[in-house]
Amino acid sequence: MLTARSSGSRLPYRSQSVGSLADPKVWQKGVRYLRRKDPVLAKVIGSIGPILFKLDIDHYEAIVGSIIYQQLAGSAARAILNRFKELYDGRLPSPREYLSTDMDKLRSTGLSPQKISYIKDLAERLLDGRLDLKHLETLSDEEAMRELDAVRGIGRWTAEMFLLFKLGRTDVLPVDDLGLRKAAKKIYRLRKLPTRKRFEELAVKWHPYSSISTLYLWRSTEKRDIPAKW
């Protein structure tokens, strides 16, 4: 479950998004802000150049995709996702279609029993009204993550991917993402992988545009696939 974290006398990180990354003016303002506040990140932004950011179209598909991508390399996740879609003529199933699919067929795609159960719980909640994905757009970052956290298998990382890639929130910082911390270690020339606390300290100057920092750190590692984009 989502819990507060203490970082000494400093308040724990809480996202405070300001607008949508899908708005070019918000994106440009965020990039200018980060380049001014963080010289190290400014060099990364300059080296990589502009990133074309587009929101995922469907709320449900965004979460199903994030579940499939959990703890997998991008290539492996894409292969499973493609086999999964092949069961439904190249698309993701509706919640009702998914619940009527034979378990053996789902396993044949490479989905683990755990992930099958996670998507099942999501589908059931959507059908019985316990979860309204469209309503999440009206909530704050933390409120939306708490709603998603109630779904089996959706932890903070998956909720953060939804806020970033579907809702376009500007201040999403996946502090538990190993690839992100590895990228930070490289560009800030740290001797060891930053702890969560150390990573939050590095990111203080990024708020309220840490989503843009996150995307650039992922992109800075050539072999790193940006999660949840397929």
Contact 10, 163 (CB under 8 A): no
Instruction: Write out the catalytic residue numbers.
Output: 177
Longest CA–CA span in the chain (Å) reads: 54
Contact 175, 13 (CB under 8 A): yes
Report d(CA 66, CA 165) in Å as an integer. 10
Report d(CA 178, CA 68) in Å as an integer. 17
Q: Which residues pair with 7 in a beta bridge?
A: 10
* DSSP state string for 95-111: HHHHHTS-HHHHHHTT-
Q: Where are the alpha helices (DSSP H) in the chain?
A: 24-37, 39-48, 59-69, 74-86, 95-99, 103-108, 113-128, 141-149, 156-165, 178-187, 196-203, 210-220
